[in-house]
Amino acid sequence: MMIIQTIQEMQQKTAQYRQQGKSIGFVPTMGYLHEGHAALLKKAREENDIVVLSVFVNPLQFGPNEDFDRYPRDMERDEKIAKASGVDLLFYPSVTEMYPRPLSVQVAVKERVDVLCGKSRPGHFDGVATVLTKLFHIVMPTRAYFGMKDAQQVAVVDGLIRDFHFPIELVPVPTVREADGLAKSSRNVYLSPEERKEAPALYAALQKAKRAIENGERNPSAICALVEDYIQTYTHGIIDYVEVYSYPDLQPLQKISGKIIIALAVRFTNARLIDNITLDVES
């Protein structure tokens, strides 16, 4: 595995691979890798000749009350996971390498951002889309891999690739879960033992909603109420939101049909957990 810290070297290496006709799978991350990231890398390794991983904590996607400096970093651990996952190139640029001067142009995301987590984080996805635009131009991958745990981000990236005509295939990878169904997340360590026992109820509530839809329920409000009731019954968490939208357009629905997402966010004492499922529903 080669570690690269400059844009120029990264562009040269990936250009060589493309000239050789090799496919490039790209996994962009902010580091502090866990099993979810490893699943993305595994999928990229299976489907491409070359695997590129980027680790870059992007200051543009942190809001005024979100502490960029406190974001967890562990490069030594990241390198071990990258090697074990078969990464060929680890791109590890500094902030000054990625943003050597104030930006004269920034990407503004207009759709799919005023719902779910984006509603309480204005400007967050502008920062995500801007850094991904830079990274896509630097790496120029064949395929890019993103986890469905953050389904809203996947929807935004889908729009970015389509609207800007990037010749990149977006590969969404299913959420990696613990044996009891809880979505894997670096935030899970902040749950108390009691909260950890309760947290699988989030996925159980989504599964209950899925069964209701399979049994004919088509009212989005009824589905949201069912999920909320389950979470309030089986956890002490505070519900941020439970929402049903079309996917990936993230538009409100009068009636559940087509491809949809049921998404939720729940606050525990020291952790805010998100989860979702997507379904293809016949009218």
- Express each pLDDT in 66-106 by its tens digit: 888 888 899 999 999 999 999 999 999 999 999 999 999 99
Global pTM value: 0.94
pLDDT in the model for residue 269:
96
pLDDT in the model for residue 69:
86
Domain range list for the chain: 2-173, 186-277
pLDDT in the model for residue 2:
98
Whether the pLDDT of residue 159 is over 80: the answer is yes
In terms of residues, how long is the chain?
Answer: 283
Comparing CA positions, the residue from 242, 171, 174 lying closest to residue 209 is: 242
Q: Which of 3.30.70.3280, 3.40.50.620, 3.40.50.300, 3.40.309.10 would CATH assign to domain 2-173?
A: 3.40.50.620
- The response to whether 148 counts as a known ligand-binding position is yes
Whether the pLDDT of residue 187 is over 90: the answer is no
The average pLDDT across 217-237 equals 98
pLDDT in the model for residue 185:
86
pLDDT in the model for residue 236:
97
Whether the pLDDT of residue 266 is over 90: the answer is yes
In whole angstroms, what is the distance from residue 173 CA to residue 249 CA? 18
- The response to whether 105 counts as a known ligand-binding position is no
Q: 247 vs 147, 158, 164, 207, 244, CA distance in Å?
A: 15, 11, 20, 18, 9
- The response to whether 184 counts as a known ligand-binding position is yes
- The response to whether 63 counts as a known ligand-binding position is no
- The response to whether 33 counts as a known ligand-binding position is yes
In whole angstroms, what is the distance from residue 39 CA to residue 36 CA? 5
> What is 186-277's CATH superfamily?
Pantoate-beta-alanine ligase, C-terminal domain (3.30.1300.10)
Average pLDDT, the chain: 96
- Residues serving a catalytic function are 37
